[in-house]
C-alpha cells in the first residue's frame, strides 16, 4: 500500500544529513534511494528505508544485524554500514553505494549469458561471500543474481562482487547455554516460504527449514544461468512443475562443465545440519579456471577491453562529475587465489564429504521467525484466537519486535565529513597553484614567424630564446637550432 511507504521522495532531507538524489528501487514497505551528504555533496551513498508499520514484519533490523557482523569481520564482499536511524514514519540504514546487480548486467548482454571467465570470477566470489555469511551464523535464504552487485562501473571495484539484501536471513547458530559456545538451531516443522521461486532449492519449495546447502543450491542455479543464459523453468509459476524440473538434473547438466555437475552432486548429499565442504566446491570451480588457462589479469565482460564493453561504455559515466568515485585498487589475483595446477577430485570424495547421520529429533515448532525467540522456548506471533497447542495464551506478554535504534554512527559520519573538508582544501590549494602558474605564463610572448622559428620573449628586459625547427617532407624533425641572444 502506498500509504505505508516511507515518507521520502527525491529532494527529501533524511536525518538532516542526507539529500535523496534518485530512487534505486522499492518493494513491500521499503524503498532505497541514492543519497548525497548535505555537507559533502560529492559523497554518495545508498539509503534503505522501511516503514514502522506494526502489521508488517520488519526486515531492516535483520539487514542491519547481518551487515554489522560482516563489517566486524572486515568482509570485502559486503557493503559498509555508515549510519542507522529513524525518520517520521520509517527506520533507515545508510551504506556504501554500489554499481549494477549481476541480474541487471546479464540482461544488458546481447546473449543474456556471461563468458565462462566472467561467470567463474563471479561464481567464486559469490561462493566466498555466502561462506562468510554462514560463518557468522546466518542463512541468506534469497541468493539470486539481483542480490549480488559489483562496484561502480568504470572503477577498479567493478571486478569486486558484493552480496546484498539480508532482510529475510535467518540465524542458524545460537548460544548453547552459559558456556559461550554455539549450537545449530533445530529445524522447525512448519516453515513459511522464503526466497525466489526461480532460484530457491527444492527443500525451500517443500516448506522445509533452509540450511547452508540451500543457499548453495541457489548459487548452483545462478551458475547454470550465467553459462547457459536461462534456466529450464524460467517463467513457470506453478510450483509443482518447477519442483519436477529441478529434480530432473539431466537438462541442467547438459552443456556445462563436469565440475558443475560434481558441485550439485555434493549438495545433494547435504542436510540441514551438515556443513558444506566450501574448499572442495571452490576447487571445483578453480579447476575449470585453470584448465581454460584463465588468469586474473583478463577482463570481465563489462569492463573496458572485455567481451561486451561496448554495451557498458555509456553507463560508466552516468554519475555526475561532482561525485567522488572509489578508485581503490582491487587485487583479483589475491581474491581468487588461483592454484598453479588442477586439484584431482574424484566422485568418491564428492560423495564422502559432509556425509552425516540425519538427526531430526526435537524440532522447533515456531512459525514466525521475525519474532525474537527466548532461551525458554520459541514464541509465535500467532493470533490470540489461535493459541499454540501446547502453550496457554498469555495476553500480558507483548511480542518483542526488532527495531533499528535511532543512535547514528556519529564517529563514522564525522570522519567522512572531515575527509571531505580536507579534500576540498587540497583542491582549493591546487587551484590556487594553477592560477599562479597561469598568471606567470601570461607574462611571456610566444611569436611564430613565417620561417617556423618560435621566438619566446620575456617581458622586463629578459633574454630572448629563439628555437628554429625545420621539417622534412615526412613530417619528422631533421634539424633543430637553439640560440640565445
Q: Which of 57, 103, 128, 142 is catalytic?
A: 142
Name every residue whose Cβ is closer than 8 Å to that of residue 29 and which is 6 or more positions away in sequence. Answer: 4, 5, 6, 50, 51, 53, 56
The full DSSP string for 145-157 is GGGEEES-TTSGG
For residue 77, give the C-alpha cell: 564482499
The Cα-based distances of 321 to 50, 259, 317, 324 in angstroms read: 30, 45, 8, 8
For residue 81, give the C-alpha cell: 554500514
Question: DSSP 3-state helix, strand, coil percentages of the chain (rounded to 5)?
Answer: 35, 20, 50
Cβ–Cβ < 8 Å for 233, 245: yes
Spatial CA neighbour of 83 closest among 70, 93, 73: 93
Please give the torsion angle defined by the CA atoms of residues 121, 167, 93 and 13, in that order, rounded to the nearest 10 degrees. Answer: 110
If you count them, how many residues does the chain have?
485
Name every residue whose Cβ is closer than 8 Å to that of residue 230 and which is 6 or more positions away in sequence. Answer: 112
For residue 70, give the C-alpha cell: 560482516
Distance CA 167, CA 296 (A): 33
Quick one: DSSP state of residue 460? S
Pairing between β-strand 444-447 and β-strand 181-184 as defined by DSSP bridges:
unpaired
Q: Could you confirm whether 142 is annotated as catalytic? A: yes
Residues that are catalytic: 142
Amino acid at each position: 500500500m502506498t500509504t505505508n511507504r516511507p515518507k521520502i521522495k527525491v529532494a527529501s532531507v533524511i536525518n538532516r544529513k542526507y539529500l535523496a538524489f534518485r530512487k534505486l528501487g522499492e518493494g513491500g514497505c521499503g524503498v532505497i534511494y541514492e543519497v548525497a551528504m548535505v555537507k559533502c555533496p560529492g559523497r554518495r551513498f545508498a539509503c534503505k528505508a522501511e516503514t514502522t508499520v506494526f502489521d508488517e514484519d520488519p526486515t531492516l533490523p535483520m539487514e542491519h544485524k547481518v551487515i554489522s557482523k560482516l563489517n566486524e569481520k572486515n568482509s570485502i564482499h559486503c557493503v559498509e554500514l555508515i549510519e542507522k536511524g529513524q525518520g517520521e514514519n520509517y527506520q533507515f540504514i545508510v551504506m556504501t553505494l554500489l554499481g549494477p546487480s549481476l541480474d541487471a548486467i546479464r540482461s544488458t548482454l546481447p546473449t543474456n549469458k556471461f563468458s565462462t571467465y566472467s561467470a567463474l570470477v563471479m561464481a567464486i566470489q559469490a561462493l566466498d561471500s555466502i561462506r562468510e555469511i554462514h560463518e557468522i551464523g546466518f542463512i541468506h535464504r534469497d541468493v539470486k543474481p539481483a542480490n549480488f552487485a559489483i562496484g561502480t562501473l568504470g572503477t577498479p571495484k567493478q571486478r569486486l562482487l558484493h552480496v546484498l539484501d539480508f532482510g529475510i536471513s535467518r540465524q542458524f547458530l545460537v548460544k548453547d547455554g552459559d558456556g559461550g559456545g554455539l549450537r545449530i538451531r533445530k529445524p522447525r516443522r512448519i516453515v513459511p516460504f522464503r526466497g525466489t521461486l526461480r532460484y530457491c532449492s527444492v527443500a525451500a519449495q517443500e516448506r522445509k527449514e533452509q540450511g547452508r546447502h540451500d543457499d548453495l543450491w541457489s548459487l548452483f542455479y545462478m551458475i547454470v544461468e550465467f553459462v547457459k543464459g536461462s534456466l529450464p523453468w524460467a517463467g513457470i509459476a506453478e510450483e509443482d512443475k518447477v519442483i519436477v524440473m529441478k529434480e530432473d538434473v539431466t537438462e541442467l547438466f547438459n552443456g556445462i562443465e563436469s565440475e558443475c555437475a560434481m558441485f550439485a552432486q555434493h549438495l545433494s548429499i547435504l542436510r540441514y545440519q551438515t556443513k558444506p565442504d566450501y574448499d572442495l566446491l571452490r576447487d571445483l570451480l578453480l579447476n575449470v579456471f585453470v584448465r581454460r588457462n584463465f588468469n586474473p589479469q583478463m577482463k570481465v565482460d563489462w569492463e573496458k577491453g572485455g567481451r561486451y564493453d561496448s554495451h557498458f561504455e555509456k553507463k560508466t559515466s552516468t554519475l555526475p562529475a561532482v561525485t567522488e568515485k572509489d578508485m581503490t585498487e582491487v587485487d583479483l589475483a589475491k581474491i581468487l587465489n588461483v592454484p598453479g595446477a588442477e586439484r584431482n577430485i574424484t566422485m568418491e570424495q564428492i560423495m564422502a564429504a559432509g556425509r552425516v547421520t540425519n538427526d531430526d529429533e526435537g524440532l522447533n515448532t515456531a512459525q514466525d521467525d521475525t519474532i525474537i525467540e527466548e532461551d525458554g522456548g520459541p514464541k509465535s506471533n500467532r493470533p490470540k484466537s489461535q493459541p499454540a497447542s501446547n502453550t496457554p495464551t498469555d495476553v500480558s506478554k507483548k511480542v518483542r519486535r526488532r527495531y533499528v535504534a535511532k543512535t547514528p554512527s556519529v564517529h563514522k559520519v564525522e570522519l567522512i565529513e572531515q575527509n571531505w573538508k580536507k579534500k576540498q582544501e587540497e583542491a582549493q590549494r591546487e587551484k590556487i597553484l594553477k592560477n599562479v602558474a597561469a598568471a606567470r605564463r601570461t607574462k611571456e610572448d610566444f611569436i611564430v614567424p613565417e620561417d617556423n622559428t618560435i621566438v619566446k620573449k620575456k617581458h622586463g628586459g629578459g633574454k630572448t630564446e629563439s628555437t628554429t625547427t625545420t621539417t622534412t617532407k615526412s613530417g619528422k624533425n631533421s634539424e633543430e637550432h637553439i640560440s640565445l641572444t
